[in-house]
Amino acid sequence: MMRKLLLVLPLLLSFTLYAQPKKKVMVMDIKAEIDPRMLRYVKLSLAHANKTQADYVVIDMDTYGGVLTDAKEIVDLIMDFKKPIWVFINSDAASAGALISIACDSIYMSPGASIGAATVVEGDGKAAPDKYQSYMRSIMRSTAEENHRDPRIAEGMVDERVIIDSIKQAGKVITFTTLEAIRHGYCEAKVNSIEEILKRNKIENYEIDHFQLNATEKIIAFFLNPFISGILILCILGGIYFEFQAPGTLFPIAAAIVALLLYLVPYYLNGLAQYWEIIALFVGILLLLAEIFVIPGFGVAGIAGITLTVVSLVLIMLNNDFFNFEFVPFGAIVKATFATIGGLTGGALLLFFGGAKLTQTKAFKKIALTDTQKSSQGYSVNTASKELIGQAGTAYTVLRPSGKVLIAGDVYDAFTRGEYIPKGEPVEVIGTEGITLKVRMIVPDSK
């Protein structure tokens, strides 16, 4: 009987172990710059962990840092998460990466890894003003205290003036190797893999869920980029211009609308584009359209429209709090400004130098009628417009530069050489293009 029990007992134990539900371990990567794209990735990762009821979350870390405000939001998300979050520093956890690592419940590092060097720097690599350093020091201290780590060491990773006996002298910031981090309580153990972390924590029956963005989220992350935003601004401006040049074509305005959506939606979903910034953008565009098509000349509406449009396009890309840029890195402001100005400038250059060439492309010929209808092929032409050269009339509508003119009681399509002609002003026909008249305004000294 005893022999039978000894034979059956291992089977019962293995069956019991197999019957137990597997522990769910979700792994997410922080292996790029800390910016709005990474912040959105972390938000989605932790939401996925909650949805799938993950028992543990492991961050696979290798980053040199990034934007402080985005890092702080990631820290808040980690600190508020109810289940254990461990970080595996696979190579580097510098600057914002060090802050995020300290926020985790446990830190594990691979051989040759490092953590520290959390001084806030500007886009050119120089140390940021002291208000940024003070903010970073306070976050590092409070985060370290919350997870029972020495706050002086966390502060020493930011401030080169801090002195800690036997650890740090003045003039340098702390950067720990793996063994140094273990010695001073900033690393639980040296490991080679995530599986080794789980083994050290006696987690044997588990399944790993490596979180990845789906196709839609990858597209959103792609467009959360100032350079791409600049290209989209160019597409918006170019689409509107070419639609006005060839009314009814629809393709250019459709391209402009798609570009506008691709510009706004990612920033809105990531919490950067606020309602008032989007409203300001549309008000600016409406003022510009009113200046071009309704209000004669160029004045307050045009200037206000340009200002609102440019400022709102820049603000949409920044994590500001209603014009409060206290903790928005100067480098981020420069990138957003250059992206906006670059897009608008590129659009203007496209209009001046690319407009004529665009009409000769195969793509344009597919959506617009560009064939020449020659008389030798059986087509007839209206020569009456050529007989109007030299005749005078009046502007039947505003010409900006195209519109309609009234000559001898008949209305004709017309355009100018680029100048603006108000409705009712006297004009003279100076040429033709097809059946469209080319006119100029008659001024007293030119009669």
Which of the pair, 237 or 29, is modelled with greater confidence?
29
Distance of CA 329 to CAs 4, 121, 173, 268, Å? 72, 9, 21, 20
378: left (phi over 0), alpha (psi -120 to 50) or beta: left
Start and end residues for every CATH 2.40.50.140 domain found in the chain: 378-446
pLDDT of 367: 47
pLDDT of 144: 94
pLDDT of 385: 61
CB contact at 8 A, 190 and 89: no
- Name residues whose C-beta falls within 8 Å of residue 282's C-beta, 6 or more positions apart in sequence: none
Strand partners, 190: 109
Q: Mean pLDDT, to the nearest integer, of 287-296?
A: 69
34-86 pLDDT, tens digit each: 988 899 899 999 999 999 999 999 999 999 988 888 899 999 999 999 999 99
Which fold would CATH assign to domain 378-446?
Answer: OB fold (Dihydrolipoamide Acetyltransferase, E2P) (2.40.50)
pLDDT of 446: 46
pLDDT of 17: 46
Phi, psi values for residue 364, rounded to 5°:
-70, -35
Residue 297, judged by CB atoms within 10 A of its CB (0-12, 13-18, 19+), counts as exposed
Instruction: Specify the 3-state DSSP secondary structure of 115.
Output: strand
Start and end residues for every CATH 3.90.226.10 domain found in the chain: 21-212
Strand partners, 412: 405
Closest CA to 177 of 251, 94, 120, 242: 94
Mean pLDDT (the chain) is 80
Which of the pair, 109 or 357, is modelled with greater confidence?
109
Query: Which band of pLDDT confidence, cut at 50, 70 and 90, is reported for residue 369?
Result: very low
pLDDT of 186: 95
CATH superfamily of 21-212: 2-enoyl-CoA Hydratase; Chain A, domain 1 (3.90.226.10)
Q: Which two tokens stand for residue 121?
A: 């720097």
CB contact at 8 A, 281 and 275: no
Q: Which two tokens stand for residue 220?
A: 């959103």
pLDDT of 381: 46
Q: Which two tokens stand for residue 35?
A: 């910016």
322: left (phi over 0), alpha (psi -120 to 50) or beta: left
CB contact at 8 A, 302 and 280: no
Q: Mean pLDDT, to the nearest integer, of 99-112?
A: 95
Query: Rounded distance, CA 151 to CA 142, Å?
Result: 7
pLDDT of 258: 87
DSSP letter at 319 equals: -
Q: Mean pLDDT, to the nearest integer, of 87-110?
A: 95
| Range of weakest confidence among 5-14, 56-65, 166-175, 273-282 | 5-14
CB contact at 8 A, 157 and 90: no
pLDDT of 182: 95
| Range of weakest confidence among 46-55, 101-110, 265-274, 328-337 | 328-337
In sequence order, what E strands does 271-409 have? 392-395, 402-407
Rg (CA), the chain: 33
Q: Mean pLDDT, to the nearest integer, of 101-109?
A: 96
67-79 pLDDT, tens digit each: 888 899 999 999 9
CB contact at 8 A, 206 and 25: yes
Query: Rounded distance, CA 416 to CA 401, Å?
Result: 5
Report strand pairing: 85-94 vs 114-116.
parallel
Q: Mean pLDDT, to the nearest integer, of 285-299?
A: 69
Query: Which band of pLDDT confidence, cut at 50, 70 and 90, is reported for residue 107?
Result: very high
120-135 pLDDT, tens digit each: 877 666 777 777 788 8
Which of the pair, 376 or 343, is modelled with greater confidence?
343
pLDDT of 296: 59
CA angle 423, 429, 433 (to 5 degrees): 105
